[in-house]
Structure 1
Amino acid sequence: MKKNGFTLIETIIAITIAGVISSMLFVVITTGIDSWGFLRGQKKLMQEVKGVLIRMTKEIRRVKSNSSSNIITFTPGDFKFVDIDDNMIEYKRNGANLERNGSILLSGIASPDGLHFTYLDGSGNVATIESNINVVQFNLVVQDGKNVVRLSSGAGIRNR
């Protein structure tokens, strides 16, 4: 007798093997898509935080340097100063937001040290009075879902 076709067992084995291979491919493709989404979000967040750091660095460099009264507030979470154009500028944390003069500059600041200022004198030691501040260092930690970006920068105050 001549056999045409497949037996039931051969068909079941073929379907099982195809199912295992398909599920492995599904896992690989899903992992790749998840990784792509994570990296896309990380890149977007990094660009946003970097832009804010560049702006802060430029503005802090412009602190008016002729008098110590131009640095109004200098705490770890708040820096308020007068720039060379006599504009009052304040960077502070308000909840999960970084604010510049009361307007939200960046959202998603991590808690508790998502924004941290350090004030240094000419020797690199922590400055305790505003007239000794030569350098302002600042750290930002921003979180958006699974994406976390930690960046630091610093700015030397002109003519100090």
Structure 2
Amino acid sequence: MTPVDVVREAPCPFVLLDGISRADATGLAAWRESGETPFWMALEAAAQAAALHQRRLADFGAHAFLLSLGGCRWCAAPFPGRLELHARLLGRSAGAAAYDVTLCPEHAPALSLSVHIGLTPYDDVFRRELLQERYRTLWEKLAGSVARGCF
């Protein structure tokens, strides 16, 4: 797959989670509803879930970004059906967080991977006035009633 193909396949806006079913201080469970989810999208969804959890833990007062993914082999075949993601927080510091994320496809074996998220204060590049409300609104949309009952 070429970079152009990846961009062509990416949904707009580039949010690969369709909902959050559970969230607390130790992690979250989310899902993606799709006919097929290519592996690169599943990895991005895992990163988005962990980063969104970190943003929520920081009350959306910091920018979160992917540092690394690891611990699993590339899957050539896409995941069919609904994909559930379980992100478990392993540890956190002021500047980073580590997660174990389990991908649970509807019709395929579960896969675990490690996800590391960086945290940085808002600044001239990552501007609070643009990002804080965007991610707070995204959280509320994805979590619905879960958002009011957690933390």
Identify which of structures 1 and 2 has the higher relative contact order when contacts are C-alpha pairs closer than 8 Å and 6+ apart. 2
Look at both structures and tell me which one has the larger radius of gyration over its CA atoms.
1
TM-score, normalised via structure 2 length:
0.31
TM-score, normalised via structure 1 length:
0.30
